[in-house]
Amino acid sequence: MSDVNTQNNPRAAALSMIGAMAIIGTIDNFIAVIARDIGLWQFQILRAALALPMLWGAVLFGFGQMLPKNWMAVFVRSALLATAMVFYFGALAFLPISQALAGLLTAPIFVVVITALFRGVSVGPTRYVAVIIGFAGTMLVLDVSPMALEWTVIMPVIGGVFYALAAIVTRDYCQDESPIAMLAMLMVFQMIIGAVALAVLVQMDPTVPAGRDGFLVRGWIWDLAQVWPFLLIQAAGSLIGVGLIIRAYQQGEASYVAIIEYCVFVFGPGAAWVMFGDTITLIQGVGIVMIVAAGGLIVRRI
């Protein structure tokens, strides 16, 4: 395999990130469709089962290695990120994608909070102001009062906490890891979490509501005729999207690339509007602008 191209190329980095967000913002809308027929845990198992052979094919073509160098670091990172995805994917069955994204993309805010409270690092007044702006923006997008939070809107925010923890571990301990190895370990973790959750559901034997309301408690479903196309799109699209994200960070300065990542707020809700007629309110639009502004302040000060 050739050496990774680390030459600074802002235009190529921007195009890669925009492409990644266009793909991810679009395909994540299909989770709400998948949730009508199968459960979250089966979705994670099948998605990973489809993605792992694709990753192996990438290894055979020389795009990385399957095994990590630092097993413990990649193990912890994968556990944290897999947990984040459980909350994010779970939320997508019940919330518009704009709200789920708003919760997940609080991650930079939590990175600042965790850094300040638990790592003894001074973060400065600018990023404290950014945390306040970002939190207020999140409340506007989620369209709730802090005194009346429902569990469905809390889910993606919890996902944002775990996403932040995974980002810290990635930055501090996984810099030299192959993206293929990290993706493979993540997929394995998602399969394990899905299998354990399904085993628990068998023992609990809960009443499963119809449609998307049963996404979190639905066991294994054998009739997959309606969901196979969406599962394939999710598996392939997520790998391509993550690959483009990695390429963007290889080609551009991190703070510049991270701001472009927020264009997912255009592609995600935009695709939801085209496919399902979902819209956002003016207040939610203001909240999105606040989250993007807060993220920009944070990454520019790193």
Q: Which helix (H) or strand (E) holds 130?
A: helix 124-142
Query: What tens digit of pLDDT does each residue of 223-277 get?
Result: 898 899 999 998 899 888 887 887 787 677 766 677 788 888 889 999 999 988 8
Q: How many CB atoms lie within 10 A of CB 253?
A: 11
Q: Give the pLDDT of residue 44.
A: 94
Decide: helix, strand or coil at residue 205: coil
Share of the chain above pLDDT 90, in %: 41
Q: DSSP letter at 106?
A: T
In three-state secondary structure terms, 100 is: helix
Where does 205-253 have alpha helices with state H? 228-251
User: Are the C-beta atoms of residues 102 and 155 closer than 8 Å to each other?
Assistant: no
Tell me if 210 sits within 8 A of 95, measured CB to CB.
no
- Summary mean pLDDT of the chain: 85
Q: Cβ contacts of residue 60 below 8 Å, gap of 6+? A: none
Quote the pLDDT of residue 148: 56
The pTM score is 0.86
